[in-house]
Amino acid sequence: MSFDLAARLAARRAENLYRQRPLLESPQGPHVVVDGQPLLAFCNNDYLGLANHPQVIEAWRAGAERWGVGGGASHLVIGHSGPHHALEEALADLTGRPRALLFTTGYMANLGAVTALVGQGDTVLEDRLNHASLLDAGLLSGARFNRYLHNDAVSLAKRLEKASGNTLVVTDGVFSMDGDLADLPALAREAKAKGAWLMVDDAHGFGPLGANGGGIVEHFGLSQEDVPVLVGTLGKAFGTAGAFVAGSEELIESLIQFARPYIYTTSQPPALACATLKSLELLRSEHWRREHLDLLIRQFRQGAEQIGLQLMDSFTPIQPIMIGDAGRAVRLSQMLRERGLLVTAIRPPTVPAGSARLRVTLTAAHSEAQVQLLLEGLADCFAHLSPEPSHA
């Protein structure tokens, strides 16, 4: 018996689902060089344009000079340094919660939180369209795992009726492939009615959403009682890397004791925490970034609707254009690239079969003129795209 990897790879190619890594040869920003080609990019998650900000770069440089480069050990041994601690306190303040806990990646924050809170004899209920890291966390927890219909509080209520043990309801805040928002008020009501806890992964909401960039919980005016477990990532709107969980004193202490992805991982570089502290300061003080981003989102949606593109119900920086067929989505992405525009085609299994799309992401670093260039490119390329293949 042997692994026939060649056959698996060939099948993926034949289905137009083969993935290849573009090689970025420049810093993140609207203007990038990918595989040697200068392009105008609309596919990164640097929503507030901070990933290449001079002040953030300088904070990292100064942090490295003061604290060195490597974390050196796990947080519980000797890897928890001053900048890590200061960043946790700043994130707790941003979220209005007593404590926050740093993780090295968003994937690890989700694995750590879910597996620390529920196990055998418990129940975890997740939105069908949750991020892969949340679904994996539910499966790995050992709890009874079930998925409710997307953003459907009635579907959740039916599953809560059958839940046993400690019950954790888990949802994305902003769904990364559709750009829509979780109906947190309704989900929180159902969870509280049954004594369940609600956990929100707000990876794509922190920064763009909320009056102060505090994300979807701030957007809806919800409390820690409504959403006891709040997860955010730092590699998107914050422009750096890592993640955090924010919540009560007891929650954070429990994660320090029981979250294996936290306990058994070397801490992130202290200089990275210094950079994130600077980006957090910019996120909170430069409100024009969110205002400009909102303007671009409105501009793009109005222009795309005039072209006749099929958009999804999103007022976030994630603006998917539904294509359906994976082959057509790839061709449209290639046609745009030939015009100097980089927009990624998203195909199954990342999204459900038959829902391939172009995933446009807008950032505060983009200009209105650049969005107009994208709209003109889309209008031209879409007009020349071959029709949907017949399934007769």
Give the catalytic positions in this structure. 176, 204, 236
Helix (H) or strand (E) holding 84, with range, is helix 82-95
CA distance 83 to 187: 35
Q: Number of helices and strands (H, E) in the chain?
A: 14, 13
Whole-angstrom distance, CA of residue 88 vs CA of residue 103: 10
Phi, psi of 120 (to 5 degrees): -55, 135
> By C-alpha distance, which of 302, 234, 195 is closest to 94?
234
Beta bridge partners of 233: 243
The Cα 320–Cα 140 span in angstroms is 30
Residue carrying structure tokens 């981003």:
293
Distance in angstroms (rounded) separating the CA atoms of residues 276 and 292: 22
Strand order in 341-342's β-sheet?
A: 31-34, 37-41, 341-342
